[in-house]
Amino acid sequence: MSESADRPLDLIAVGAHPDDLEIACGGTLARLADLGYRVGMVDLTDGEPTPGSVGPDNRAKEADQAAKILGVEVRVALNLPNRRLFDSFEARVALARVFRRYRPRVVLGFGGKTILASPDHYQAMLITDAAVFYSRLSKWDEYFDGLPPHTVTNQLSFPIALHRLDMPETSGYIVADISETLDRKLLAIRAYASQFPPTKSRLFQTVEMMNRYFGLTAGFEAGELFMNYRSFGVEDLIRWAAPLAPGQADRPRGGA
């Protein structure tokens, strides 16, 4: 997918491999794109070698097709080494350059280890955390090709474990409504035919069931789970805790 548009993005999601983001937050990326937000994706590695793929060019075409299905405007491949991805100064700076270039308001990234899966996920979390910090540092121009500092407004993370019920420790959880985009999320994952042949069809059932479960907990048909590391403030606790249904009139407030 083209990387030529340098207009600021509203959100950038960071994954270790092509297909990570589709599985973890593809429904949310599609929903935000539908709402008119400019959304970007970053793959730290090309995901190669991998057993079912014929090579990186094919995997890149699959990633491009998936991004088009989701409506994502920009997809960047940093081509760091798959299977040997480590939190290093060079990796941190490479991702921070992307943040300085596209100036996102929000960054999404991994939120912990993925036990029994690729250790690249945890390293991607460390790289993302550091890159958000590096992006805003001044007096460091020699590493950033003249790109000015940029402060990310907020950072959220996602779990990608599909076979466990416990969640990483965090300040709180957010469920994003993907009721209208769950089908597109699944279609974007299916774009990776090299990774998900018919013998792995159960993955799609697992993803759909987990998204429907998360959505159910928040009153949606389907949802994706995100972890928040800041406290949220509310001015009106009642309106937040018990929002009015459509057409329901607000009760008059008592006087002194």
Give me the CATH number covering residue 170.
3.40.50.10320
Element (H, E) at 110: strand 106-110
CB burial string 22-35: b at 16+ within 10 A, e below:
bbbbbbbbbbbbee
How many domains in the chain? 1
The reply to whether 4 falls in a domain is no
The reply to whether 3 falls in a domain is no
The model's confidence at residue 168, banded by pLDDT at 50, 70 and 90, is: low
CB proximity list for 77: less than 8 A, separation 6 or greater: 18, 42, 43, 46, 60, 63
Task: Give dist(CA 185, CA 200) in Å, integer.
Answer: 17
Q: Is 164 helix (H, G, I), strand (E, B) or coil?
A: coil
Instruction: Pick the closest to residue 95 from 76, 74, 120, 118 (CA basis).
Output: 76
Measured in degrees and rounded to the nearest 5, phi and psi for residue 242 equal -140, 70
pLDDT at 52: 81
The model's confidence at residue 230, banded by pLDDT at 50, 70 and 90, is: confident
The reply to whether 235 falls in a domain is yes
The reply to whether 137 falls in a domain is yes
The reply to whether 255 falls in a domain is no
Range of the domain at 39: 11-241
Q: Picking from 2-11, 19-28, 72-81, 126-135, which range would have the lowest pLDDT averaged per residue?
A: 2-11
The reply to whether 6 falls in a domain is no
CB atoms within 10 A of CB 113: 15
The model's confidence at residue 54, banded by pLDDT at 50, 70 and 90, is: confident
The reply to whether 254 falls in a domain is no
pTM (predicted TM-score): 0.92
The reply to whether 186 falls in a domain is yes
pLDDT at 255: 56
pLDDT, tens digit (0-9, with 9 covering 90-100), for 108-166: 999 988 888 899 999 999 999 999 999 999 999 999 989 999 999 999 999 986 766 66
pLDDT, tens digit (0-9, with 9 covering 90-100), for 95-116: 999 999 999 999 999 998 888 8
